[in-house]
Structure 1
């Protein structure tokens, strides 16, 4: 912790900007809260500060039922950090420990299990099992309160290995049994559509979700995604099956409606939804840096809280990056739609205009490259990329080393700095990427009254670290 007195001032001010950055345990009540909890502010002597909800739970505190601290936005720190802790936290959030255990997590990070555990305890206050257990508890509460799924099914869908472990964890975290959580849930909070799970995803304000929707709408692949009014809808390929998600921004929340082939994919689906709308961003920190720069000050003031739209799947984003080389956004959409029609997998139950999942790397790797709807050079680039993604030589999951992944991408013939940087920014959620050779950057910077040539753009962007990806969104929006 940096400054506990500063954190206490945030608690007294109920400052929602710090929700998810730290948690407070109250010794007089035995509960832990988010900083913006509306309850009476505890005495300073009765407060203990924690870096993660799992750390507070490990110290014996249970979650406040009023502010629901387990439902806060994630810490923006994990997207900024490129070290093993940041990579591990992104993988745990995506459900890797639930699916592959600590062994699988350590293997992806190229560290021993002991090293991963020790590093996380030192930095976050809890090891990978404790962090995953805390996340499972939140997933279980979500299923109990928003679906009519039998309690036993909810336990295994949340990632628990046994009913006893499930019951013990829920009691420890919420001071209530699973049945009590379900019986006290408000009826209006339950999913109103059979087979759907309705959630409210928290974020920090301000948030320019109109900009996110415009960005996604311009690039939406027919059959895979669409924007209808203020709702973004798309298919996902998840670890245990397909799914369709609908995201609708609302005041203080983004409403998510999930239709999953397998409820075990809830944790991964939520993590990917959060990446699409950049819900764990710290907009105040971004705007403080970019708004102080003369070139971007007016743009930041006009659109505070601009977000960096993410992607549900790094492999998909890489393929789309190749499709978008040297063509317009509209032309790239058309190419992606034709590729989806040929190699995408039809959904069992289409939702709106969403009928297919995007083609997998394996499907493209085994296809005849001559059938790809593009010139021969890019056919060969796409085929080689798909082969390397399918056999694991290139990994683009949330926990990869971003520098290494970018270098491996540029080793594919036909992929250069623009494509690799674009994948790093959106597919790997790197907040500090700039694309100085991009034609839109040239026009955008000239519209802002500064030179737009690559050398000048790269030099200027150095002033915007560590938020160059957000600066790029402002530059693009200026045209």
Structure 2
């Protein structure tokens, strides 16, 4: 080797990423090999052996480190993404072990500035916001499990004080920890409306198909039917002047109420606070202040809608969706039909879908996606990053960039998505920028770059500028 062992050891102590790919670090006491930049605790120099490449380390009987993933690095995968995903997995498993963003950066083996860049690219979020979200999710899970001591719950979730935990919990869930616990034993709960919530837009959006069989809007009330453990359930949202009363019919128990709460927040676009976007782009807030990206009840529903909506007009897409729900869904309260889950759709035959007027290709794509999801090979919520979820979606038959970006945006809630090729988006961009023709894919991305990292919300604004209701 062209470097002395003393120099190489200094480089691994410094976690020098510039030496990744130049040398492999073998740790004889643990039987693993690492990248020089591995964030793990460094071994004593006498326990280290340096190799020129991965093959040499493997020939010596060493296995790849699970933290720095040298095997992924040498396969040409994104090293930063690999480390980030490994760190995210550790945080999700034990959020209380990470006191702050510095601890998360240490786990990922990068500096805080680099960590924020990785989060912006791959999660469309800030590290601090991610940490808070994971901590509160852990707190909710413990409450569902029956944990009752709220003071202990705060510390177990990674908070140093009960007051800090209570404030963060209410901001993320719309309820105090005590109210959330009470909800688990009830069939209803009340949320305070987020500041500036455009209630009329929420109702128009979810009721945009007036003939829908799985949603219904009457006055200031919204009903949504879905499957809960294979059985039909119906969620009702009744909007008051400043709050939303949510009730569940057809299912009960802590797990059912926890899911009902999650769905209600998704339908309200709870996590998509528009303040940062409106500050950066005040020209958008004048006609539509408070607009939010509203999500589907679950990611699979967004994927079904995206596949059905490929290369057809909205009216026909609505009709296809209604027919599919009638064919594969189950009757629910209020005369609605619960949207089918992946198993119900996967149980259909191609002929069943062809009878519903799906093309042969569209039927193939839908059945393939449903089969993958039903078998557990397409658990979209299990992917820690938008990058990983998009890669998996694009591996599906018939799933192109538009479908993947739509699902990332409306099914998974990622905030910096661009459904390139969307007819409504290109028309809105043409009008907004006074173009002679609709922009192509490259120009669409160029025009939308100005709205990063809020391009999902910018897309909703552009859609809304056409007819007042996004697609």
TM-score, normalised relative to structure 2 = 0.61
Q: In the alignment, does 2:314 pair up with 1:329? A: yes
The 8 Å contact of residues 243 and 261 in structure 1, kept in 2 or not, is answered as yes
- The CA deviation at 1:119 is 11
Match of 1:207 in 2: 197
CA deviation vs aligned residue, 1:30-51 (integer Å, no higher than 9, x gap) = xxxxxxxxxxxxxxxxxxxxxx
CA deviation vs aligned residue, 1:31-80 (integer Å, no higher than 9, x gap) = xxxxxxxxxxxxxxxxxxxxxxx99xxxxxxxxxxxxxxxxxxxxx9983
What is the alpha-carbon distance in structure 2 between the residues aligned to residue 118 and residue 418 of structure 1?
Answer: 42
CA deviation vs aligned residue, 1:79-128 (integer Å, no higher than 9, x gap) = 83589737735854774883699xxxxxxxxxxxxxxx99963899999x
Q: In the alignment, does 2:126 pair up with 1:85? A: no
Q: In the alignment, does 2:348 pair up with 1:367? A: yes
What is the alpha-carbon distance in structure 2 between the residues aligned to residue 331 and residue 202 of structure 1?
Answer: 37
Match of 1:269 among 234, 244, 260: 260
Q: In the alignment, does 2:280 pair up with 1:289? A: yes
What is the alpha-carbon distance in structure 2 between the residues aligned to residue 87 and residue 135 of structure 1?
Answer: 15
Q: Identify if the C-alpha distance between structure 1 residues 93 and 337 changes in structure 2 by more than 3 Å, giving closer, same or farther.
A: farther
The 8 Å contact of residues 293 and 460 in structure 2, kept in 1 or not, is answered as yes
What is the alpha-carbon distance in structure 1 between the residues aligned to residue 246 and residue 325 of structure 2?
Answer: 25
What is the alpha-carbon distance in structure 2 between the residues aligned to residue 267 and residue 92 of structure 1?
Answer: 13
Match of 2:445 in 1: 458
- The CA deviation at 1:339 is 1.1
- The CA deviation at 1:396 is 2.3
Q: Identify if the C-alpha distance between structure 1 residues 440 and 219 changes in structure 2 by more than 3 Å, giving closer, same or farther.
A: same
Q: In the alignment, does 2:248 pair up with 1:258? A: yes
Match of 2:406 in 1: 422
Unaligned runs of 5+ in 1: 1-53, 56-76, 102-116, 144-153, 158-195, 292-296
What is the alpha-carbon distance in structure 2 between the residues aligned to residue 221 and residue 96 of structure 1?
Answer: 40
Q: Identify if the C-alpha distance between structure 1 residues 79 and 463 changes in structure 2 by more than 3 Å, giving closer, same or farther.
A: closer
Of structures 1 and 2, the larger Rg is shown by: 2
Match of 2:69 in 1: none
After superposing on structure 2, the runs of 4+ consecutive aligned residues of structure 1 that deviate more than 6 Å are 117-120, 122-127
The 8 Å contact of residues 226 and 233 in structure 2, kept in 1 or not, is answered as yes
What is the alpha-carbon distance in structure 2 between the residues aligned to residue 325 and residue 86 of structure 1?
Answer: 36
- Number of residue-to-residue matches in the alignment: 326
The structure whose RCO (Cα within 8 Å, separation 6+) is larger is 1
- The CA deviation at 1:400 is 4.1
What is the alpha-carbon distance in structure 2 between the residues aligned to residue 89 and residue 221 of structure 1?
Answer: 40
The Cα RMSD (Å) is 3.6
Match of 1:441 in 2: 425
Q: In the alignment, does 2:180 pair up with 1:139? A: yes
The 8 Å contact of residues 430 and 439 in structure 2, kept in 1 or not, is answered as no
